[in-house]
Homo-oligomer: A and B are copies of this chain.
């Protein structure tokens, strides 16, 4: 019932970047009345060309919305969009369901969710995994924190943009699981990079090695999707190291707060920080290989022997 109610009404979409842009487009295609807002106008024009509407401010976008979707880079951005002057809390209708797709600090999410409820709104934290390809193909994994009734009410929105959509707990739980996701992904990339540098040093056919590694217990999405970047020493983003660095700050702080000791998480956070410090922040996170090469006294800009 709630499902149908929402699917025939208006979604405000705040943040039409690499992820938010395609997601808003999928909502248009699913039959939602989508009103988009973005700081830069060209992204709004793209949404309008795809059948959506444009707004000149957050206030304009959310005033008539039944659902407000947010996809912005970091905790301060979400805080500004929701609780800032001229933001969602000041301008949305009572009862509006806010879905925050951004990846931010779990404690900021729980704080903003409490404010939202106090002011008569409903909020789900719904960070995603799957990257630009997942956003474009409506194949995102979405880890949702909040009330079951709100999760059920948002089903049509989630199904329009995601493939694996799971309610993992109360508000903040979505962000906690996303933090765990970023921990695993960063570590799996670093381990693959160490393995690649190791087998290359022994003159192994690295492409053949990755094939057989992928067939055994070492197999992973990271190996499937990031191995070729490493062999080719080519790291176009993808997911940028500077963003993953931000996320590892979230997970190490949240783990410390909870008294959970994460030795590999701590080390890979340092290695990600080193990648930023060495000017690799704009590269795909598979460029962690460059750090392994630097540590091993090799020139990260040289092509691999196995590729030459």
Contact = CB atoms under 8 A, between A and B. Distances in A.
20 contacts: A129-B217, A163-B215, A164-B214, A165-B212, A169-B205, A173-B205, A177-B209, A180-B209, A183-B191, A183-B194, A184-B213, A185-B216, A190-B263, A191-B265, A194-B260, A194-B265, A201-B259, A219-B220, A220-B221, A264-B268
Nearest to A173: B204
Query: What does DSSP make chain A's interface, helix, strand, loop or mixed?
Result: helix
Contact of A264 (B167, B194, B213): B194
Given A180-B195, A181-B216, 8 more contacts: A129-B213, A141-B213, A185-B218, A194-B264, A198-B254, A201-B259, A220-B221, A261-B292
Contacts of A199: 168, 176-177, 180
A259 B297 contact: yes
Nearest to A172: B202
Contacts of A208: 166-169
A248 B211 CA distance: 21
A297 B205 CA distance: 44
Contacts of A197: 260, 262
A141 B141 CA distance: 29
A106 interface: yes
Contact of A184 (B168, B195, B251, B267): B195
A156 to B, nearest CB: 19
A307 interface: no
B261 A204 contact: no
A296 interface: yes
Given A169-B205, A211-B166, A267-B264, A255 B198 contact: yes
B217 A131 contact: yes
A285 B214 CA distance: 19
Interface in A130-156: 130-131, 134, 140-143
A277 interface: no
Contact of A191 (B140, B170, B187, B225): B187
Number of copies of chain A assembled together:
2
A203 interface: yes
Question: Interface size for chain A: under 10, 10 to 19, 20 to 34, or 35 or more residues?
Answer: 35 or more
A97 interface: no
B184 A192 contact: yes
B164 A216 contact: yes
Contacts of A179: 198
Give 3 nearest A-B pairs by CB, closest first.
Answer: A129-B216, A164-B215, A220-B220
Interface string A104-146: 0010000000000000000000000111001000001111000
Contact of A221 (B166, B203, B217, B265): B217
Nearest to A306: B169
Contact of A209 (B106, B143, B185, B225): B143
A179 B214 CA distance: 14
Given A142-B212, A183-B191, A260 B292 contact: yes
